[in-house]
Chain A
Amino acid sequence: MDWNCTLVEERLSDFLEGTLLADEQAAFSAHRAGCAHCSQMVAQVDGLLGQMHALEPLPMPLQLAARILTATRAEFGGAKQGWRGWAWWPRWAPAVWQPRVAMGIATALATLVIVLHAVSAAPGGSKVAQLNPLNVLRAGNRQVHLAYAHTAKFVNDLRVVYEIEALMAQPQAAAPPVAPPNAEPEQRQTPEQESHPVGPNPREKTQTMPRRNNFPAIRNAELAMVENMDSTDEQPSATLRSLP
């Protein structure tokens, strides 16, 4: 393809920046070699680009920076004198509400409360000697043991209550060894069943489950109650009231 002057002029920047394809480059160079006008134009523009690219940026006037700073302070400095809205709120404040930070703060506060409580609960009132790390450790150890003892007692009491409840819900068929030979345990009902004769007992499921009784006193009370139920019409609650 032969290039004319118009096409060479349109693609001049592409030629100087080296973005022409190989065949385009060859056609451009062929026309340039045979055309004095285009050759001169390419030389002029090429020289102009060299001059412009070699130019250093103009130095900034010395007073310009100070002048801009003064104007900036005049416009934005005065705004800080008035109401700043929520600008007083520190920028790190939202980070406090992150779960990790909140949990850390809560843990530190809980630790502080425990330590202070241990110190104040130590015998002898609040003295400077209580701030001794050894005393703090002892008081804390005492508090931990007390808390453990309270918890263990509560769990044991709860277990006794459950045992008694399970015992009251137990049908008389569960005690065949102490039943009289002519008795019909299937017809006997617990006090709860007597009060609600119609409908299934919701606690019957617990009767099929294996029970663990590690308390000899409970076992004895259970046997005594079953005996009372078989021999008399007395309510088992009377036996339960005799439990320690």
Chain B
Amino acid sequence: MRRHTRRVYNLCYRFTGNSTVAEDLTQEVLLRVYRTIGSYQSQYGAFATWLTSVTRNLLVDHHRRTRHDRMTDSIDDVLPVVEDKPSQVRAPDRQAEAAELSAQLQRGLARLSPELREAVILRDLQGLDYREIQTVLRVPEGTVKSRINRGRIELAGILKQMGVRPA
């Protein structure tokens, strides 16, 4: 349960960029899973894929609900301040670098369109294969590949503009 919860939380956080919202959405996802666990059938795919589909549907609903709020606020003013700091105060250099990279990546993801963002997150941060992403997004495999490719190129360009050097 803890592993799945962490996975859902990561997906919610990477998509929304807000830890409080991600916690609320994670709780809502798990409650929805408990309510609808009877509808899950293994023939439709792995449980993790089904869980990702439930999470993604909730994220889409949340994205539509908060569209008006995002239009009134400047996204650049909101996103840079939402990154969680690591719990260790005296973190080693590598952990500090990873945390900094994670924050920069989060800012870059926030600038992507929702379609490209979710495709990149599912593929490169959640580790789903193309077939699973096709199941979650309910789009053809060619569309999945196209979105992932364009999302990667755009994200690399955004990070370059932000001054992030490639590894």
Assess whether A9 is in contact with B5, with CB atoms less than 8 Å apart.
Answer: no
Cα(A10)–Cα(B155), bound, Å:
15
Cα(A122)–Cα(B159), bound, Å:
97
Within 8 Å of chain A (Cβ to Cβ): is B115? no
Within 8 Å of chain A (Cβ to Cβ): is B156? yes
Interface size class of B (residues with CB under 8 A): 35 or more
Cα(A12)–Cα(B125), bound, Å:
18
Within 8 Å of chain B (Cβ to Cβ): is A208? no
Contact partner of A60 (CB less than 8 A), chosen from B5, B105, B152, is B5
Which one, A50-58, A172-180, A197-205, is touching chain B?
A: A50-58
Within 8 Å of chain B (Cβ to Cβ): is A44? yes
Q: Which of B30, B31, B156 has the most CB of A within 10 A?
A: B156
Residues of A within 8 A of B6 (CB): 57-60
Given contacts A9-B153, A64-B9, A68-B26, contact A52 B31 (CB under 8 A): no
Cα(A61)–Cα(B148), bound, Å:
29
For the complex, count residues of A whose C-beta is within 8 A of B.
33
Within 8 Å of chain A (Cβ to Cβ): is B143? no
Nearest chain B CB to A156 CB, angstrom units: 66
Q: Which residues in window 85-133 of B have CB below 8 A to A? A: 87, 98, 101-102, 105, 124-125
Interface residues, chain B, CB within 8 Å of chain A?
A: 1-2, 5-7, 9-10, 13, 19, 23, 26-27, 30-31, 34, 84, 87, 98, 101-102, 105, 124-125, 145-146, 148-149, 152-153, 155-157, 159-160, 165-167
